[in-house]
Amino acid sequence: MKSRTKVVVIGGGIAGCSTLYHLTQEGWSDVVLVERNELTSGTTWHSAAQVTNFGMNQTMVGLKSHSIGLYKELAEDPDYPINYHHGDGGIRLANTEAQMQGYRHFASMARGMDVQFEVIDAEECARRHPLISTENLIGGLWDPMDGDIDPAQLCQALARRARKAGAEVYRNTPVVGLKQHADDTWTVQTEQGDIDCDIVVNAGGYRVNEVGAMMGVHHPVASMEHQYFLTEEIPAIRDAGHRMPLLRCPISDYYCRQEKNGLLLGFYEQDCKTWGMDGIDPNFVNALCPDDLDRVTGVLEGAFARMPALMEAGVHTVVNGPITYTIDGAPLVGPIPGKRNAFCIIGLRAGLGEGGGHGWLLAQQIVHGEACYDTWCLDPRRFTGHANVELTALKAIEDYQNEFRFHFPHEHRPAGRPAKTTPLTPVLAAEGAEFTVVNGWERVDYIKPAPDFAHTHSFDFDETFDLVAAEVANVQTNVGLAEVNGFNRIEITGADRHAFLDRMFCGSVIKRDGRVGLGYLLNHNGMIKAEATLANLPASDRGPERTWYGSAAASEFHDMDWLTSHLRADEDVHLRSLTHDQTILILAGPRARDVLSACARGDWSAQAFPWLSVRECFVGIAPATVMGVSFSGELAYEIHVPNASLYAAYLALRQAGEPLGMKLFGARAVDSMRMEKSFLHWKSDLITEFDPFETGLDRFVKLDKGDFIGRTALKARQSDGLRKKLVVLQVHTSQGPAHPGGSLMRGDRVVGTVTSGEWGHRTGLNLAHGFVESDLAEIGSEMVLDRCGEHVAVTVVPTSPYDPNLERVRS
């Protein structure tokens, strides 16, 4: 066994084998995989092994397409062919128009990745799958590439190719310890000896947290027992003359696929069960849980009703084994938060079907720093401090129970809530707030007109439309108050802080005390990495000279990792997170200054405290830091308050605003207003697939300021010109907004993709952002949006349709 290698991958299931193989494809041959038993002896060996192209976003569709292409190539390898039923086709059923509308959106989204889904009616579903009944059925989504694969053969084929490229695989080599050294390299301690390496990868399957514990981390991954059975031969399948399509049924919570001349039938029962919460027997190898068919009786009845032939079929094998889930059902593929040179590829509940793509994207991240797609939907850092064992288990149960039910826009399911709150959460709830969830934080979405008010989950505009319009109108003409909790805040101190930030940001960095600036950080490829507001605070009784770095709530772990990884040993720079210490109250509208002046001493005039200023003060008796910034496009103040004083500040502002009729507003109103100002959302409009010039951020780039991260790559990219350009679009319909991933078309050709959309209540425009081919980015260019199957005209319009000269924020 080697004593030194570049990468050690821990785990010999689909995740580990795919990662090892793809590392060799990226040019790294000095890599090793260690497996505690035999390859595929965990979840992989009993996988139902379905290979679909369906995904909830374009990254997921792209990685699944890669899996399908790779598996087809492996199956056709004359030296080592594997069993892969490719292109049997598959149907996701639906019994509501809302589900069908969602399928039409996913078909539009997939088209942008060159994947063709088809939305079909109930009769066509039955024609393509003659075993099903059309009772209580409206239609479905057809995936022509759907199929299934042999799990063991797939992993052995990947391992074989990796070995041929120079990688090594050590079976029966349990890892017993992980030690990280001062230079961030690792020693992987095994029962067969130690291996020193630069990078370690946790691909531990359902033993993920046994491996995690060795490096002092916990991963938000829980296992669920999952049962399926194999039937005896069914004559209708034997005599069909073709393989039956795969079936996934959100109506009755089951799936099935052909297995020989019978069916493999799997269940997602409501009375489901977690597994391994208190530890896993070390001898649980190539093993299963006890059968528990009583638990799936209800699901089975639904399956019988949908497929009457099942009632005549015998059962010859029952499989009940653990599969892993994360908090949102998507895997964790990427850097491990808070660790250097440590990655994971875990929580792959549909591992066989998509594992080829996950390993592909992870290998790119390890070797190149980023993947070809923005991988935030998979990033382990998208969950932060709230991601404990109990929350993960609750969300895993909920996701299991809704396996084939996609999330609608603005849908936040109830399990594991509330995870993060502030002292104002119950106060705002008493005021009628409906909450959305941002990185676990309960944030006001809108204010309900009555306690029993509820909105319909839909891809169209819903019952909140007029409520949001009223909240926006109040902010535009009067004054509104909102809480923005969870905002990522890092306090940066030290004599070299400005030089450090100048190296991190691609544009000018504000250095004067009392001033605020917005800027962007690039990765080493010159692409958008992060967006942050910087505010310079002078020394006071609250602290030394310091800079506050503020960014999106979801970026808490991501941005801290990025900043700390670029600190130099000889720099006097210190980073401290204040994210959980302070909360922002937003005061916005033309009368915001009147409210602030009534409860905070000092001169708040435009002359004394102009836009992009920052000042420490007291709001009532509460210590506060006020910034003159606006995400709404109106005169606005961000009031940053320690959580211990948050309620006091809130009361002072409410009292000062009462004579003016100040009202609360929520996140939906903010989103409407930010669209009218063309303000961008991180990980919606700001992604690693595009550089700042393609994203329309030219004014934030200073290539002549000296060196900064990504500068060399960005300059090299300039000679190639813009591939695509982010534009503002008017969507010519009042039925509903554009949704992220929607395809923009010219004829039958996809020319762009929507990144975000919402109705602008001040302008009366249905607005969207989207990346389009650069020659279509001119004002007035016309395209067609496939909005949930409806072809809607769209037009490129100037940025910032509302108050483009920023007169209102400066007033």
**CB contact at 8 A, 237 and 228:** no
Residue 209 has a pLDDT of 97
Q: Please tell me the pTM assigned to this model.
A: 0.97
Q: For 145-186, how does the pLDDT look when each residue is reduced to its tens digit (9 = 90+)? A: 999 999 999 999 999 999 999 999 999 999 999 999 999 999
Q: For the chain, how big is the Rg over CA atoms in Å? A: 27
Instruction: Give the residue from 71, 16, 72, 73 showing the smallest Cα distance to 39.
Output: 16
Beta bridge partners of 548: 491, 535
Distance (Å, whole) CA 411 – CA 99: 14
Distance (Å, whole) CA 410 – CA 458: 9
The distance of Cα 372 from the centroid of its chain, to the nearest Å, equals 16
Phi, then psi, of 333 in degrees rounded to 5 = -130, 110
Residue 720 has a pLDDT of 86
As a whole number of Å, the end-to-end CA separation of the chain is: 71
Beta bridge partners of 521: 505, 530
Give one word for 666, left, alpha or beta, with left for phi > 0 and alpha for psi -120 to 50.
Answer: beta
Distance (Å, whole) CA 128 – CA 91: 9
Residue 673 has a pLDDT of 98
Average pLDDT of the chain, as a whole number: 97
- Regarding beta strands 193-202 and 342-346, do their DSSP bridges make them parallel or antiparallel, or are they unpaired? parallel
Residue 519 has a pLDDT of 98
Place of tokens 């291996």: 195
**CB contact at 8 A, 21 and 154:** no
What does the block give as tokens for 608? 């004394």
Distance (Å, whole) CA 211 – CA 173: 13
The distance of Cα 156 from the centroid of its chain, to the nearest Å, equals 31
The list of the chain residues with pLDDT below 50 reads none
Distance (Å, whole) CA 132 – CA 331: 32
**CB contact at 8 A, 56 and 406:** yes
In the chain, the amino acid numbered 34 is V
What does the block give as tokens for 802? 């509302």
Distance (Å, whole) CA 117 – CA 514: 54
Distance (Å, whole) CA 148 – CA 63: 16
**CB contact at 8 A, 346 and 205:** yes
In the chain, the amino acid numbered 692 is P
Phi, then psi, of 149 in degrees rounded to 5 = -140, 155
Give the 3-state DSSP-derived string for 694-749, with helices as H, strands as E and coil as C. CCCCHHHCCCCCCCCCCHHHHHHHHCCCCCEEEEEEEECCCCCCCCCCCEEEECCE
User: Measured on CA atoms in the order 453, 454, 460, 465, is the torsion positive or negative?
Assistant: positive
Residue 535 CB contacts under 8 Å (≥ 6 apart), including other chains: 515, 516, 547, 548, 550, 614, 625, 627
Phi, then psi, of 200 in degrees rounded to 5 = -120, 145
**CB contact at 8 A, 794 and 776:** no
